[in-house]
Amino acid sequence: MDITDVAERPQSQGVYPFKLERITGTLGAEVQGVDLGGKLSDELIRQLTAALVEHKVLVFRDQPITTDQHIALAKRFGPLEIHPFTQPSSGFANSDERPEVIRIESTADRPSAAATWHSDVTFRQTPSLASILRCRVAPAYGGDTVWADMEAAYNGLDEATRDWISGLTAIHDWEAFRQNMRRNGVPQERIDELVREHPPAEHPVVRTHPVSGRKILYVNLTFTTAIKGLPNDESQALLRRLSAQAHRPEYQMRLRWRPDTIAMWDNRSTQHYGVGDFHPQHRLMERVTVAGDRPF
């Protein structure tokens, strides 16, 4: 079953066969009474999908699932994505045995890999739909993840700005990964080959959620490099202004990790930031990602 098959549900009227506790007044809910390693009916997957669209981030505590169960869970929501640019030396690497799984590991000699605001792989023509992140090793303090509701960020803009950006297109590129590859000694010939395989993508500055129909601010300073058709100085100023919407605490939720915590988020309507305040402690996460479709 594909996550996009779920019927639209009014965002404030969800009634679910499990307990939900909201995390903030804007986004995020903790799900109780669901064993993610157990047998999940199609109806339960539909209800979890609807809750994800409504709350944007779902948190599940005390879920000691195996890697195979993690993959099987993600497949219930759609086809899986394999990240094209991970490298073991960066602490952000595909598993050798199961390439659908990304290991995100920080140690005393390796910094956090995700300490920037972003939506996953917006440089792809079809960015991720949803990610399911599992905590294997949590630091004793720090290392939280913060999410921002980019639907709320869009609604928080003044009307004139919303009108201005409604027809604009943004260019997304993976230059951040290229810089990391160069630091880690990847030959330029190989980087050039990957650029040909994964050219820059163009997405609307304001995308429409394919399930809820709501408008979402869809730019981030990690992968969005320009606004198409604007002079560079005007383009960069607008990108900085729009991306700053994610920084407002009113649009955010923050998760304190502990082992066997799982977070699932709607990559279409959120950005996230891995807080790098826990070094030199060890932190190990595993992520499986549901492939998405082209934003509109």
Q: How many domains does the chain have?
A: 1
Query: And the tokens for 90?
Result: 């960066």
Identify the CA nearest to 276 among candidates 149, 184, 143, 162.
143
How many helical (H) and strand (E) elements, i.e. helices and strands, does the chain have?
Answer: 7, 16
Query: And the tokens for 156?
Result: 């928080």
Q: Output phi, psi for 228, to 5 deg.
A: -60, 135
**Residue span of the structural domain in which 8 resides:** 3-290
Query: Is the residue at 40 inside a domain?
Result: yes
Each residue's pLDDT tens digit in the chain (296 positions)?
444 443 333 344 467 889 999 999 999 999 999 999 999 999 999 999 999 999 999 999 999 999 999 999 999 999 999 887 765 545 566 767 788 999 999 999 887 667 899 999 999 999 999 999 999 999 999 999 999 999 999 999 999 999 999 999 999 998 888 887 888 788 888 888 888 888 999 999 999 999 999 999 999 989 999 999 999 999 999 999 999 999 999 999 999 999 999 999 999 999 999 999 999 999 999 999 999 999 99
Query: Is the residue at 233 inside a domain?
Result: yes
State CA 259 to chain mean position distance: 20
- Alpha-carbon gap, residue 196 to 191, rounded angstroms: 9
> What's the pTM?
0.90
Query: Is the residue at 118 inside a domain?
Result: yes
Query: Is the residue at 295 inside a domain?
Result: no
For the chain, the first-to-last Cα distance in angstroms comes to: 22
Residue type at position 266: D
- Alpha-carbon gap, residue 189 to 214, rounded angstroms: 42
Query: Is the residue at 296 inside a domain?
Result: no
What does each C-alpha distance from 211 to 16, 115, 133, 228 come to in angstroms? 18, 29, 22, 27
Q: What is the pLDDT of residue 183?
A: 81
The 3-state DSSP composition of the chain as helix, strand, coil percent (nearest 5) reads 25, 25, 45
* Catalytic residue IDs: 118, 120, 272, 287
| CATH number of the domain bearing residue 143 | 3.60.130.10
* DSSP assignment string, 148-202: EEHHHHHHTS-HHHHHHHTT-EEEE--HHHHHHHHHTT--HHHHHHHHHHS--EE
